[in-house]
């Protein structure tokens, strides 16, 4: 497991204000449906985070860049970013996160008609990405559909992957635990 300093939830913000602004801008563009414009910004911030030795955040940003490039119809850039994300996730040994991204990016690439990129990832990574332990999957399946505190629907975010120990209500922050 990682020490607290590597936990993305415990990290302080290591981006400079100009870089943080670029990240905010990228998130805004992405939310506005301008994925193609957001993608190179995500990719650039991933490079900055790599240089700052923030591997976990860098991997997440590469993953976001891959999703954005896929949505923005740039197959070869999507593949490059997906490779960077997967190689970093594998190096960090975050198995559930790796598997979650591996599955979701191939699904998205296929949905976008980018079959060659999806197949390339399968060829390169299938043997290296181990599926999450059945215990983790069944724990995820046992999460309540709604927050016990405020009733909001429970969503497992991309960043949380299938790590049920880190699921919180997106609205009120109440930790969500699997039902017994």
Name the token pair of 180.
């017994």
What whole-number distance in Å separates Cα of residue 53 and Cα of residue 73? 30
Distance, CA of 24 to CA of 15 (rounded, Å): 11
Nearer residue to Zn ion within complex by CB, 34 or 166:
166
Nearest to 171 by CA among 158, 153, 157: 153
Q: How far is CA 83 from the centre of its chain?
A: 13
The conformational region for residue 132 under phi > 0 = left, psi -120 to 50 = alpha, else beta, is: beta
Q: Name the residue nearer to Zn ion (CB basis): 92 or 159.
A: 159
Among 126, 150, 155, 175, binds Zn ion (CB under 5 A): 150
Asked if 58 is part of the footprint of Zn ion (rule: CB under 5 A), the reply reads: no
Member of 144, 172, 175, 179 binding Zn ion (CB under 5 A):
172
Pattern 152-171, binding to Zn ion, x per CB under 5 A?
x----------------x-x
Site for Zn ion in 118-147 (CB under 5 A): 147
By CB under 5 A, name the binding residues for Zn ion: 147, 149-150, 152, 169, 171-172, 174
């Amino acid at each position: 497991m990682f020490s607290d300093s590597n936990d993305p939830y415990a990290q302080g913000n290591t981006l400079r204000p100009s870089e943080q602004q670029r990240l905010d801008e990228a998130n805004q563009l992405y939310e506005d449906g301008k994925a193609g414009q957001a993608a190179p910004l995500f990719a650039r911030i991933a490079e900055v985070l790599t240089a700052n030795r923030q591997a976990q955040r860098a991997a997440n940003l590469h993953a976001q860049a891959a999703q954005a490039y896929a949505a923005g119809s740039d197959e070869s850039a999507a593949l490059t970013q997906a490779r960077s994300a997967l190689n970093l996730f594998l190096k960090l040994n975050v198995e559930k996160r790796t598997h979650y991204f591996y599955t979701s990016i191939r699904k998205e690439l296929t949905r976008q008609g980018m079959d060659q990129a999806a197949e390339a990832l399968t060829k390169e990574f299938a043997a290296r990405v181990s599926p999450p332990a059945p215990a983790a999957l069944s724990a995820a399946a046992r999460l309540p559909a709604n927050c016990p505190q405020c009733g909001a629907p429970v969503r497992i975010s991309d960043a949380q992957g299938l790590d049920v120990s880190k699921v919180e209500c997106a609205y009120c922050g109440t930790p969500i635990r699997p039902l017994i």
